[in-house]
Each structure stands twice: as structure tokens, then as C-alpha cells.
Amino acid sequence: MSGALTRSEPLSRAYDRWAETYDEEYAERPETATEDALVVSWLRDRLPAGASLIDAGCGTGWLLDRIEWPRALYYGFDISTGMLDRAREKHPGYAFGQQSVVDQWPGYPHDWRTGTPRVALAMWMVLNHLDPEELLLTLGRFASSEGDRLLAVLRMPAAPELAAPGGHDDLAPYVWNHSLDDIETSSEIVGLRVVDHFGFLYGGRTVPVKDAHYLALEIAR
């Protein structure tokens, strides 16, 4: 286990405790269906056919629950054993691994550096669990070559809930609020740029970024 993942062990344990009820809790939220429809439509417009996908913080398999993708072109990873167990149960035959987004990418089933296009995804709160230094490392690693891109959704400071539905307060100490300015500045430092973004509320209504609960981003070199 790498040092980065070791530092994430308390967060990993928090998600392990949530894994068994994670899907059900989100399914019970009235906003979930409309949020998902908005984000999935945005993703489909930006996922080229034949792209190699790396699903950072894949959780219980949110992406594969909603978008079909060839097994040979997908790799999902998460810090939580419990979340990965659920993902493997729902999506047999797909490659999953336990690691954090600041690890040195061990155990890939295919070479992330060969073949194009390559798309990394960091959906929902993955980037919120990174401090500013880790954010820089992750952005630079996800989009290290021309043509690479990162698609992400993160929780915004205006969101009325700090961490998660269902009273999972044990996640709160591991949540960083990054503004659009923060992401744009970090991207520029590592030679990237935000090429597309929009803000939306719980329930999926698009709003100005300053009022948004979530921010969807496309980042590229």
C-alpha cells in the first residue's frame, strides 16, 4: 500500500462504513434522477467512442450504472474496499483497483500512456477530498499529454450539505471546498486549462457558478 493511500485510510474507512447503503441512500433522494440525467448527458457529449477511461473514485460503479463502456477500455479505482466490492458485484469482468488519486498508478490493466483518446473522470466529490497540493499533482497526472482530458463534478461552497446525505459526518474533516478560480489557477500551474464548465443545483437546474451546489468541468492541455 502506498504512502498516499495510507494517509487516506480514515477516509477509506468512512466510505467502507457507507458502502452497503450508498446506492440506496442516493436513490431515495428526489433530486438524484434529474441530477444524473443532466450529468450523464454532459458526459456522453464529451466521451469519444473508443476512448480509454480511467474512473477515479469510482465508488460503487456510478458511471457504469449509467453508461455502457467496453471492459477493455475501462479501469476504475477507489480507496474504499467496501465500495469496490459493490462495484465488482454489479459489474463483473470490469477492472477495478484500490488506490488513491495521488498514488503512482499501480496495477493498470492497460497502459494509460498509449493509445488515444484518453479520458479521466473524477465524479462528484473526488476532487473535494484533495488538498491544494494533491489537486495540482492529480490534474497534472490525469492530463499529462496532448489530447488527454479530465471530466469532473465537484461540490461547491454554496452547497447546503458539507459532505454527504444521510448524516455521514465522518466525511466532513476530509472535504476541501475548491472554487472555479481555484481549479483554473491550479490547472494553469500544470499547463492545463478549463475548456468547459457549468454550475447546477441539487435537482439539476443550471445556475451561475457563484450560486451552484455542483460544478461540472472539462479540463485539457
Q: What is the CATH number of the domain that holds 136?
A: 3.40.50.150
Predicted TM-score of the model (pTM): 0.89
What's at 51, amino acid-wise?
A
Whether 123 and 177 have beta carbons less than 8 Å apart is answered as no
pLDDT of residue 108: 52
Query: What cell was used for 90?
Result: 454489479
Which residues of the chain fall short of a pLDDT of 70? 1-7, 104-116, 160-169
pLDDT of residue 87: 97
pLDDT of residue 221: 86
pLDDT of residue 1: 36
Query: What cell was used for 219?
Result: 479540463
**CA geometry: angle at 110 spanning 107 and 112, to 5°?**
90
Q: How many domains does the chain have?
A: 1
pLDDT of residue 89: 97
Domain limits for position 76? 3-220
CA distances in angstroms from 57 to 4, 93, 113, 114, 122, listed in the order given: 14, 18, 20, 22, 6
